[in-house]
Amino acid sequence: APATGRLKPLRKHRGIIATITIGLVLAAACVAPPSESPEKGSDRLVLETAFKNIGLRYAADVSTRTVSVAGLKALSDTDTLLAINDQAGKIAVTYEDRVLGEWQTPADEDHNAWAAVVADALEKARHDAPKLGEKDHELVLAQFFRGALSELDRYTRYATPSQARNTRARREGFGGLGVTIRYSKGDVYVEKVHAGTPAFKAGLKPGDLITHVGGLMLTGLTQNAAIGHLRGPVHSKADLTIIRKDASAPLKIAVVRAHIILPTVTSKREGGILTIRLSGFNQGTSRSLGKILAAADRKDGKPLNGIVLDLRSNPGGLLDQAVAVADFFLNDGRIISTKGRHQRSNQIFNASWGERVTDIPIAVLVNGRSASASEIVAAALRDRGRAIVIGASSFGKGSVQTIIRLPNGGELTLTWAHMIAPAGFNLQSHGIIPAICTSSPDNELADMMAAIRGDLPAAGTILNAALASRSAIRSNPDLARERCPPARAERTEDQEIAKYLLEHKSLYTRALRDGGAAIAER
């Protein structure tokens, strides 16, 4: 008989101490020297903040000298006549045979001294290297950071002020209308109107062409410029001019902007199976999931037989949201722990007492684009024996980043810890290897689908696949990942297998035992 269960009443989630993105705004108290140009002064403050945080917070020890010299040398990518010499206790910038500047090499960890040297070198290079001088000031600084951060891991990166504004909007929300736009040949169309938003209440419809905001014409602007004009302070008014296919004249619609958090959770219920798809983890993810679970419990008074948690192509997001999502399905015990060089990066996250989803089987879907926060959820539910994982091996991003807000409005995303799954494994590189693999190059998938459709014995075929995965993971995780490669496709077979297992309680239980908890036993 199908497994059934009830949802416990929702309760407020306990506060989470840390997130995968921790914003730090550092105010500079020092005053620039009178002779310092505005650009040089700005660069110096940005570099001081960046160097200090790299020295204190980066997951591995790296010298400021290494980072600084690598960044300066990257400037020659724009102008090959520019050279950086680091020898005999001096740093020199030359252009052709001419010395533009020379400085005594500061102590490796003297962050402020290195910031002053680099800021001075950047100014001289912009002034005397013509190709650098033609570039926007922020782009030259970004080029320096690309070189500097190449000495660190691939997840540590710099965002210019404009890039940082966009990423903050995705994480934290923004003042906006509540629409997804489609940009086509200079025209701005409404692609989707999100329920409950100002645009929804004002009557905007998919297909509407937005020609003006106030007196400003959007037609012909770049996509980013158009988005910038549609967004604005919360509670501000946007007077839109709309062309609608079935309207005889342009429409004037006033919309009052609100704080918009892009939706990351969608769901669909078919009979007793609830499929929940998470596309990311932002500030609204756990709240949206809670509403869906509460509504599912009330729908027609019928119990759930199972939940498919679809994390495929989910690149991750906020750590506290991943912890909150996993906590919906766990009674207690470890969700994830983080370990780094900085004292505050060493943390343990446990589930709070009383799971909200009781005795309901769960299947988690992952693929090669499932990363970071999505891997936290999959690992927690797998290692605690709470869900069976189906699909392809996940991306394998086992690091935690903190976000440093820089004085110029840019951001430094800095790796400061590594994630340890409940079973004690670092998720880096190996990622989540499914109990039921659908990306194997051999005939396993074809055999499983034949079994589900009645052409082969279902129990033996599926359980053999789970046991093979368990054995491979226990003996050689590298080989197991090779046998179940991180394919990017989202196969319909993933969902078919998940639903079949959830509808057959005995088979689900045996597959969970033989495959899902394999790592937890090590």
Catalytic positions are: 372, 383, 397
d(CA 449, CA 221): 50
* CB-facing half-sphere around the CA of 378: CA atoms within 13 A: 37
DSSP symbol at 317? B
- For 477, the token pair is 């995780």
If residue 481 lies in a helix (H) or strand (E), which one and from where to where?
A: helix 477-483
- Main-chain dihedrals φ then ψ at residue 36, nearest 5 degrees: -80, 130
How many residues belong to the chain? 522
| Separation between Cα atoms, residue 351 and residue 337, nearest integer Å | 12
Among positive and negative, which fits the CA dihedral 394, 395, 397, 398? positive
The Cα 401–Cα 20 span in angstroms is 6
Rounded CA-CA distance 411/226 in Å is 23
For residues 231 and 229, what is the distance between their CA atoms, to the nearest angstrom?
Answer: 5
Which candidate, 176, 251, 178, places its Cα nearest to that of 209? 251
> 86 — phi, psi (to 5°)?
-125, 95
Q: What tokens does 427 get?
A: 């998720």
The alpha carbon torsion through 90, 91, 96, 97 (nearest 10 deg) reads -10
Give the Å distances, CA to CA, from 23 to 68, 401, 502. Answer: 23, 10, 41
Angle at 171 between CA 166 and CA 177, to 5 degrees: 65
Rounded Cα gap, residues 132 and 112, in angstroms:
24
362-366 and 388-391: which strand pairing?
parallel
Beta bridge partners of 90: 87, 104
Contact yes or no for 99/93 (Cβ under 8 A): yes
Distance CA 66, CA 340 (A): 21
What does the alpha-carbon distance between residue 197 and residue 218 come to, in Å, rounded to a whole number? 22
| Spatial distance between the Cα atoms of 483 and 477, rounded to a whole number of angstroms | 10
